[in-house]
Amino acid sequence: MSQLLEVNNLRVQFRVKSSMVSWLQKAETPFIDAVRDVSFKIKEGETFTLVGESGSGKSTLANAVVGLLPTASGSINFMGDDVTQMPDKQLRAYRKQISMMWQNPTGSLSPRMQVGDAITEPYKIHNLSDRDKQQEAKRLLNLVGLSARFQDRYPHQLSGGQARRVGVARALALNPKLIVADEPTAGLDVSVQGEILNLLNRLQDDLGVSLFVITHNLNIVRHISDRTAIMYLGRFVEEGPTDDIFVNPHHPYTLALLSANPEVTNVGALERIALKGEVPSLMHRPSGCEFHTRCPFAQELCATVAPVGIDFGFEYSATCHYPR
What pLDDT digit, counting tens, does each position of 277-318 carry?
888 888 888 999 999 999 988 899 999 999 998 998 888 999
Nearest to 215 by CA among 243, 248, 189, 193: 193
What pLDDT score does 267 carry? 46
Contact 323, 310 (CB under 8 A): yes
Q: How far is CA 24 from CA 18, 212, 284, in A?
A: 10, 42, 19
Looking at the predicted structure, is the pLDDT value of residue 28 above 80? no
Strands 227-232 and 235-241: antiparallel
DSSP E strands, the chain? 3-15, 31-43, 47-51, 73-78, 81-82, 98-101, 178-182, 210-215, 227-232, 235-241, 309-313, 316-319
pLDDT band at 261; cut points 50, 70, 90:
confident
Q: How far is CA 93 from CA 5, 29, 44, 79, 211, in A?
A: 15, 35, 18, 12, 19
- Cα separation, 230 vs 291, in Å, equals 13
**What percent of the chain has pLDDT above 70?**
93
What pLDDT score does 86 carry? 85
Contact 192, 161 (CB under 8 A): yes
Q: In DSSP terms, which residues pair with 8 in a beta bridge?
A: 75
Q: How far is CA 103 from CA 108, 126, 169, 215, in A?
A: 8, 23, 15, 10
- Cα separation, 23 vs 19, in Å, equals 6
Looking at the predicted structure, is the pLDDT value of residue 167 above 90? yes
Contact 317, 240 (CB under 8 A): yes
Give the mean model confidence (pLDDT) for residues 167-193: 90
Tens-digit pLDDT profile for residues 109-153: 999 999 999 999 999 888 888 888 899 999 999 999 999 999 999
pLDDT band at 264; cut points 50, 70, 90:
very low
